[in-house]
């Protein structure tokens, strides 16, 4: 559910962020020469006559922009690249093709769980030393591990979504005399200041359980630190651990105050995404919404101008770590092909990342892609937070979990965090139930 929302809204974000940055928002593919104008001179065309098929779920502006990157690769190597859209359910598209012995050369997967699944099915090809060198040069070790299974490296994260943001309505802050907070205690005080002015501080997207997992992940990463985050994401520590208690108690400081939530807990749990965004910007009923970079699209659709009425601040530190949680897409090889590995090497490189970064609606997890490459001020700032976070950046925890626990409406973590919003006073009971569900999912 969350994936389809993210992909649809990122298509609009391509236009929204470009407009905010004062850049043209055209999504028409350009000639390969213009797409790679700032890249190094093309090498000898070693892949003349080679055809490579790439499958991904992107459509519209996202697809058009990715095809500009592919054109740059074609110009550099002489290869021909064809693109196939998988639709929203990447697994449903790839499954029959893998079983039929006719997979695409490269697939771009919307979540790491598919890397593990396809590795177990022996459907993936280990990355060559050349591709792994690009990963070692340009990514932190965490991202290499994310694309690995049973000691083999199979994938590279090529596109990111930034989930550590809180968006606010500037007029609501001005009316309350509030300033964007820089830490958790300030966030609680700011919420109280806004509430005292007569405006509910938060429009919580509680009916969409995945938004509550995003909230938990940011607080947990900040309070427990990246090492514990990784352990919890693998269920190597239990959900009854004291670190989980701390994070839930912090969240309780926001959701436990009726005046902090538009409509109280009951209203929050009946509000989905993107209705929560519309309540902040289109209807002016609330001041803040806690969600990712793709809020920008819904804010614009509600009539708010980015950078003026619709602003954001980094998710405040609730502990010792500045939280930066990403979602994103992982490219893998399904065939042993020289062309496919060459394309993965290109996508993992600084050169490939810089070409893509110059197009709207894209964020790179590549630490060597300078923020100066991005066309909009918002994306420049988001990219810098990824670089600045360094080894502490983490991937969306619920997307790393078995879907029965971290990705199913009305079940597992989604349901239990909704129960917590309904009654945040009973932290220990929620933890026990989370652990019971986790045991079932990881057995």
DSSP code string of 293-356: TTHHHHHHHTTPPBTTTEEEEEPPBSSSS---EEEEEEEEESS--HHHHHHHHHHTSHHHHHHH
Is residue 397, in this structure, part of any structural domain at all? no
Rounded CA-CA distance 417/98 in Å is 36
| Total domain count, the chain | 2
Regarding whether 421 and 330 lie in a shared domain, the answer is no
Among 391, 412, 429, the domain-final residue is: 391
Is residue 119, in this structure, part of any structural domain at all? yes
Regarding whether 414 and 380 lie in a shared domain, the answer is no
Regarding whether 288 and 192 lie in a shared domain, the answer is yes
Rounded CA-CA distance 359/261 in Å is 37
Is residue 396, in this structure, part of any structural domain at all? no
Burial class (CB in 10 A: 0-12, 13-18, 19+), 30: middle
Regarding whether 184 and 147 lie in a shared domain, the answer is no
Is residue 443, in this structure, part of any structural domain at all? no
Is residue 258, in this structure, part of any structural domain at all? yes
Rounded CA-CA distance 283/262 in Å is 12
pLDDT given at position 119: 95
Is residue 242, in this structure, part of any structural domain at all? yes
**Ranges assigned E (strand) in 96-204:** 106-109, 148-149, 152-153, 155-162, 165-169
Q: What is the DSSP letter of 420?
A: H
Ranges of the chain whose pLDDT falls below 50: 1-42
Among 370, 391, 412, the domain-final residue is: 391
User: Alpha helices, DSSP H only, in 139-196?
Assistant: 141-146, 170-176, 184-196
Rounded CA-CA distance 132/418 in Å is 41
Regarding whether 194 and 88 lie in a shared domain, the answer is no
Regarding whether 129 and 36 lie in a shared domain, the answer is yes
Regarding whether 319 and 256 lie in a shared domain, the answer is yes
Rounded CA-CA distance 41/285 in Å is 53
pLDDT given at position 44: 57
Regarding whether 309 and 421 lie in a shared domain, the answer is yes
∠ CA 314-7-340, nearest 5°, is: 110
Rounded CA-CA distance 344/126 in Å is 12
Regarding whether 314 and 276 lie in a shared domain, the answer is yes
User: Alpha helices, DSSP H only, in 147-183?
Assistant: 170-176
Contacts 24+ apart (CB under 8 A), 194-197: 194/287, 194/288, 195/257, 195/259, 195/260, 197/172
Regarding whether 251 and 367 lie in a shared domain, the answer is no
Domain holding 140: CATH number? Answer: 3.40.190.10
- Asked whether 395 and 162 are in contact (CB, 8 A), the reply is no
Domain span including residue 237: 165-323+402-437
pLDDT given at position 443: 86
Percent above pLDDT 90 for the chain: 83
Is residue 218, in this structure, part of any structural domain at all? yes
Is residue 196, in this structure, part of any structural domain at all? yes
pLDDT given at position 432: 98
pLDDT given at position 17: 44
Regarding whether 331 and 287 lie in a shared domain, the answer is no
Regarding whether 123 and 60 lie in a shared domain, the answer is yes
177: its two tokens: 């005399």
């Amino acid at each position: 559910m969350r994936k389809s929302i993210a992909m649809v809204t990122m298509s609009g974000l391509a236009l929204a962020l470009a407009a905010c940055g004062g850049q043209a928002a055209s999504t028409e593919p350009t000639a390969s020469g213009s797409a790679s104008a700032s890249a190094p001179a093309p090498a000898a065309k070693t892949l003349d006559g080679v055809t490579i098929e790439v499958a991904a779920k992107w459509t519209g502006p996202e697809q058009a922009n990715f095809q500009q990157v592919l054109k740059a690769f074609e110009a550099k190597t002489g290869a021909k690249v064809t693109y196939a859209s998988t639709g929203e359910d990447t697994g449903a598209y790839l499954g029959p093709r893998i079983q039929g012995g006719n997979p695409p050369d490269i697939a771009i997967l919307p979540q790491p769980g598919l890397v593990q699944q396809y590795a177990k099915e022996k459907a993936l090809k280990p990355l060559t030393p050349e591709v792994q060198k690009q990963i070692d040069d340009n990514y932190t070790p965490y991202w290499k591990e994310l694309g690995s299974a049973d000691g083999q490296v199979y994938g590279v994260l090529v596109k990111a979504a930034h989930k550590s943001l809180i968006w606010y309505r500037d007029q609501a802050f001005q009316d309350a005399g509030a300033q964007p907070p820089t830490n958790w205690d300030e966030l609680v005080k700011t919420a109280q200041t806004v509430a005292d002015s007569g405006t509910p501080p938060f429009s919580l997207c509680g009916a969409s359980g995945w938004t509550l997992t995003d909230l938990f992940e940011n607080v947990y990463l900040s309070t427990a630190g990246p090492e514990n985050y990784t352990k919890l994401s693998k269920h190597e520590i239990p959900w009854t651990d004291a670190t989980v208690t701390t994070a839930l108690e912090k969240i309780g400081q926001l959701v436990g105050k009726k005046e902090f939530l538009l409509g109280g807990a009951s209203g929050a749990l009946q509000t989905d995404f993107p209705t929560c965004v519309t309540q902040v910007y289109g209807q002016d009923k609330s001041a803040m919404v806690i969600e990712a970079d793709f809020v920008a699209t819904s804010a614009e659709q509600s009539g708010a101008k980015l950078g003026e009425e619709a602003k954001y601040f980094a998710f405040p530190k609730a502990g010792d770590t500045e939280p930066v949680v990403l979602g994103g897409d992982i490219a893998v090889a399904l065939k042993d092909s020289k062309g496919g590995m060459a394309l993965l090497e290109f996508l993992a490189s600084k050169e490939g990342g810089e070409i893509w970064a110059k197009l709207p609606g894209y964020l790179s997890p590549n630490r060597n892609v300078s923020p100066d490459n991005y066309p909009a001020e918002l994306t420049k700032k988001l990219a810098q937070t990824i670089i600045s976070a360094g080894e502490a950046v983490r991937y969306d925890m619920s997307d790393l979990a078995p879907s029965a626990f971290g990705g199913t409406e009305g079940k597992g973590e989604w349901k239990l965090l909704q129960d917590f919003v309904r009654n945040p006073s009973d932290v220990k009971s929620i933890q026990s139930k989370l652990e019971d569900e986790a045991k079932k999912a990881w057995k």
